[in-house]
Amino acid sequence: MPQLPKPLHPLSRSKRPRPLPKVPLQPVACKYCRTCITSSKVLVHPDSFPNKSRRMRGFNGKASLFTEVSNVHLSAPTVQLMTTGAHTIQEITCSTCTTYLGWKIVRAHERTEQWKEGICLLEVESLFTSMVPPPSPTYPMEGHWRSPSSGSDTSSGSSFDH
């Protein structure tokens, strides 16, 4: 009597592999409350900037450009005069703690700057790139986290730099 083929396992019927969930390369969070804001996956690399623009500066210093952000609030659009010309921007704040993070460029009024439209400029000073939670309980103290049990200061995290 011929043998019947063994029944296939229910999960092995599909020959196509299941797609893995999308995981950000490195989360970028609000420095103060650790809410995830964006990912290094959507960072606009300086080599892709046209017109020899290599360094981005925010109101508070170094900044990086990102194509997507989440968990933020956008202000009403305003026109801001910057070193590269007039831009219509919306300020970006953290939706959890309302910390100022940067701005979204809604419109660049100079033709040479129009490549920035729709891009978000986030201030490096306000970002945190390691999602390791601070010790618990925590007390923010001038940019450091102090754990009452250890009595020692530890750095509040690395700043995001490209």
Question: Cα(17)–Cα(11) distance, rounded to whole angstroms?
Answer: 10
Rounded to 5°, the CA angle 158-159-161 comes to 120
Question: Cα(13)–Cα(161) distance, rounded to whole angstroms?
Answer: 46
3-state secondary structure of 3: coil
pLDDT given at position 137: 43
Can you list the residues of the chain whose pLDDT is less than 50?
23-24, 131-162
Task: Decide: 136 and 149 in contact? Cβ < 8 Å.
Answer: no
Tokens read off for 135:
């010790």
For the chain, give the percent of residues with pLDDT over 70. Answer: 62
Residue recorded with tokens 């960072």? 43
